[in-house]
Each structure stands twice: as C-alpha cells, then as structure tokens.
Structure 1
Amino acid sequence: MQEPTGRSSKRLPKASMQAQVADELRQMIISGELQPRSSLSEMALSETFGVSRTPIREALKQLQTEGLVEIRPRVGTFVAVPSHRDVAELFQMKELLEGAAARLLALRGRVPETERLRSVMAEADKATQAGDTERYGQLVHEFHELIVVGADNGKLEAHYRTLMNQLAYARLVRTALAQPGRLSESDREHHQVLDLILAKDGNGAERMMREHVRRSHQALLAGWDAEDDASSETTRRA
C-alpha cells in the first residue's frame, strides 16, 4: 500500500479540513506522487493529516466525483486508473478547450500572458537543446496554462481545470515526451501556436493548437504501447 510520505501530522481548521485534505491529495495524484492503483487507507491518511476519518472520507468522495479516486465498497479506495477510452475522450475535450483558448487569446492581441509565453518558449528551447524532459514538462504545463488564462473566459478555465485534474496530466506528459523525437516536435508545435497567436490569427491558432493536442495524444498512445510491449517481454522471460 502506498501512502503519502514525508508529511508530518498537522491540524487543519475544522471549516476547511475536507477542502485542504482534498486539495493536497489531488495534487499528489496529479503530480504522480501517488501512483495509479495506489491504495488509500482512511486510517493512514487520518494519521498523516492529523484529522478524524470523517473529513478524509468526504475528501475521498469529492475526488471520486472528479474521477481521481475509485471507491470500491467492502474492498478499498484506490487512485483511479483511467481507461484508454477515458483518456481519449478527455483529450478530445482538451483539444476543444485549448483550441478555443488559443483563438480567444489571439483575438485579444498583446496582453501580459503573451509576453510571458515568449519567456516560457525561450526557456523551453534551452530545455529542449539540453534534452531536459523534466524541465520541459514543467514548461509545457505553464505554456498551456498561460493560454487558457489568457483567453480571459472564466467558464472555459473552470472546465479546463476539472479536465486537467481528471487527466493527471503531468504523469501523461512524461510518457509522451519519452518517445523519440517528441521533445523537439512538441517545442516546434508550441512555437507555431505562439506565432499564430502573436499574428492575431485566431482561426490558425485554434487549428494548430488542436493539431498539437492530437499529436500529444498519439505520442502518449505510442508510449503506452511501448510500456505494454516491455511488460509482456518481461513476463515472457520470467
């Protein structure tokens, strides 16, 4: 059973116990600190967070609603493992939302987010040249985040954040970027999206962003296939 490590018990204000526990567990799942299929014990989590089991139970129910946790009656609670179909559907929504965000940002013209995107891409270029997939993965998140925030549409942003939580995206980015050539391809695609945004070409920015998301999904699927092949080979040799 995998439980949070390196955390000392802490007292949380009663009014926000559930929200704070849910938020921290959510981040641990999204970041990959809690791996898919990890068992989540109410008792262990209660000790870790220094709260009763009631806010733990309610936080887990909230995360189940978000698609991050699976509660199996009389069996246990586990970090959810989305199926290939789940991920495909989520990527379809990601494509729509991020495409729309790129178009809306392009129509706004020069705003603080576009200037920050320039800086992010300069850093991303350095990470690409150094082959630093860990740093580049962090910049991928910032790049997409800036475009969504820069769209200046609260409803779109709210739906996007729910979607990204369900995807546990940081984990998926690492798998996609591990594919040969994907790091430089992704960097080039980001530049194309940004160029179209800066040119105020809303339709072009949306089209390129949607293409980028589709290619990222394809790289992820290739990574999963490679992992499955490696697992099958290990089983065969055992």
Structure 2
Amino acid sequence: MNRDAGEVKNGSMQARVIAEMRRRIIDGDVAPGASLSETVLADEFGVSRTPVREALKQLQTEGLVEIRPRVGTFVTTPSRREITELFEMKELIEGAAARLLAQRGRVPEIDSLERNLREADAAVEQDDRERYAALVQEFHDLLIAGSDNSKLQAHYRILMNQLAYSRLVNTSLSQPGRASQSDREHHLVLELILEKDGDSAERVMREHVRASRRALLAGLPVDGRRASAKPKPGLAGS
C-alpha cells in the first residue's frame, strides 16, 4: 500500500471511530465518567491504536471526552455550571431559530412541526415518556432546520453534542407535570411562528428553554443525592 492510500485508509478508520463513539456518548450507551481504553477500542474496531488516539483527540475537542495525561481518557461529565452555560447558549440559538422560521412563511418544516405536535399530544395522553422524549428532540431539530441558516445549525450541533441532550431530556421530563407543560410550550411557539410574530416566537422559545433547564437541574444529583424524588415510569404526574 502506498503512503497516500495508507493515509486515506487511516482517515476513514478514524472517521468511523469518531462517528460511532460520538453516537454512543450522545445516546448514553457509554455513561458519563466512564473510562475509555485505546487498546480495547482498537481491538473492538479492528484498527491500530493510532486512529483511535486521534479519534479521542477529536472527541475531546468537541467536549465529549477528557484526556488526562498519564491517567486515561474519560467520558465528560458536565458540571451543573457547565450545563447552565450550555443551556444559556441553547436558549440564544433556539430563540434565534424561532425568529428566523417565523420570517420564512409556509415552509416544509412547518408541516413537519405540526405532525410532530400531533404525535407529541398522543404520547403525553398515552403516558409514553420515551416516545415523547424522542419527539421533543425532533421538534427542536426541526426548528433549527427551519431557520435555514447553516452557521446556526453547525453551532447548534456542536452544542447539542456537548450536552449529550438525549440523556438530559429524560431527566427533565421526569419532573412532575413537565411533559404536558413542555407540550403546551411547543404548541405556543408554533402558533407564534405561524402568525409570523418573530419577536414573540423568540421570546417564548427562550422561556421554554429556561423552563427545561430548571426542570433538568431539579432532577440532577446534588451532593450525591437527587434534588427531587426518583423519576417514575411513564409521564405520571403530567
């Protein structure tokens, strides 16, 4: 194999490791604080340690892992302060997205958002937290896509990767009444977008993100204990 071919192969292997490890961390398949072994990962992916090492460096740049020299590599566990700061950025970006979408008129994302809310209403009615959590993520993704701003979308994706949002949304929705309140907030945001009221859509979207942050922080551990009662299956209490 010539040098160029070898570099291409290593690059594709590295990209494969990055994509899969990023997915595992974001989806919660690998727990926060978990140790990641270069040797174990190299064996699992059938590659040398070099592409794994470079992949972990990229994931550190994205804020998903922490490399401690002479100690090891660990999945990042965001502090409450870091989560608060990330949600402050989420609030700004999603508020801007709501405003931009309100200016665009009847675009395909609007139809998708209306379908999303019909399914979300049914999930809340059926007490199906897992389904509703997935629809929450989709709602926010559709809102960002509807902004039609590639720079905003790129920054949002980096932000959401650092938050590992799919893990956090379940904690937020575990709070009594949060699921049904979240659903109502989504409906109001879309109503304002349909009315082309960008100022109000941005304001309400930002309020929605702040409410989600409060619910999330209420469910996170405090000094080794949960800040509230343990979440119960389904959407009980909503």
Instruction: Name the TM-score, length of structure 1 as normaliser.
Output: 0.90
8 Å CA contact 2:102–2:196 kept in 1: the answer is yes
- Whole-angstrom distance in 1 between the partners of 2:43 and 2:149: 40
Q: 1:18 — aligned with what?
A: 14
Q: 1:215 — aligned with what?
A: 211
- Whole-angstrom distance in 2 between the partners of 1:209 and 1:216: 11
Q: Compare the two structures and name the one with the higher helix fraction.
A: 1
Structure 2 residue identity aligned to 1:69 = V
Q: How does 1:128-147 map to 2 (within 5 A)?
A: 128-147=124-143
Q: 1:117 — aligned with what?
A: 113
Verify: 1:91 aligned to 2:87, yes or no: yes
Per-residue deviation at 1:225? 4.8
3-state SS of the aligned residue for 1:74?
A: coil
Q: Aligned to 1:31, which of 8, 18, 27?
A: 27
- Whole-angstrom distance in 1 between the partners of 2:173 and 2:184: 13
Q: 1:171 — aligned with what?
A: 167
Structure 2 residue identity aligned to 1:216 = S
Per-residue deviation at 1:229? 3.1
Structure 2 residue identity aligned to 1:58 = E
Deviation by residue 1:71-91 (Cα, 9 ceiling, x = unmatched) = 111111110011111111100
8 Å CA contact 2:100–2:147 kept in 1: the answer is yes
Structure 1 residue identity aligned to 2:33 = R
Q: Number of residues paired by the alignment?
A: 221
- Whole-angstrom distance in 2 between the partners of 1:95 and 1:133: 23
Structure 1 residue identity aligned to 2:194 = L
Per-residue deviation at 1:159? 0.4
- Whole-angstrom distance in 1 between the partners of 2:121 and 2:48: 47
Q: Aligned to 2:197, which of 191, 201, 209?
A: 201
- Whole-angstrom distance in 1 between the partners of 2:221 and 2:9: 46
Q: Structure 2 regions of 5+ residues with no counterpart?
A: 1-7, 230-238
3-state SS of the aligned residue for 2:74?
A: strand
Per-residue deviation at 1:130? 1.0
Verify: 1:103 aligned to 2:99, yes or no: yes
Q: How does 1:63-82 map to 2 (within 5 A)?
A: 63-82=59-78
CA-atom RMSD, angstroms? 1.7
Q: How does 1:30-49 map to 2 (within 5 A)?
A: 30-49=26-45
3-state SS of the aligned residue for 1:78?
A: strand
Q: 1:60 — aligned with what?
A: 56
Q: 1:229 — aligned with what?
A: 225
Change (3 A) 1:106 1:230: closer
Change (3 A) 1:72 1:167: same
Per-residue deviation at 1:198? 0.9
Per-residue deviation at 1:188? 0.5
Farther-moved stretch of structure 1 (218-227 vs 56-65)? 218-227
Per-residue deviation at 1:51? 0.7
Change (3 A) 1:227 1:201: farther
Instruction: Name the TM-score, length of structure 2 as normaliser.
Output: 0.90
After TM superposition, the runs of 4+ consecutive aligned structure 1 residues lying more than 2 A away are 12-15, 225-231
3-state SS of the aligned residue for 2:35?
A: coil
Deviation by residue 1:119-153 (Cα, 9 ceiling, x = unmatched) = 00000001111111111111111100001011000
Per-residue deviation at 1:14? 3.3
3-state SS of the aligned residue for 2:67?
A: strand
Per-residue deviation at 1:226? 7.3
Per-residue deviation at 1:227? 9.0
- Whole-angstrom distance in 1 between the partners of 2:222 and 2:176: 12
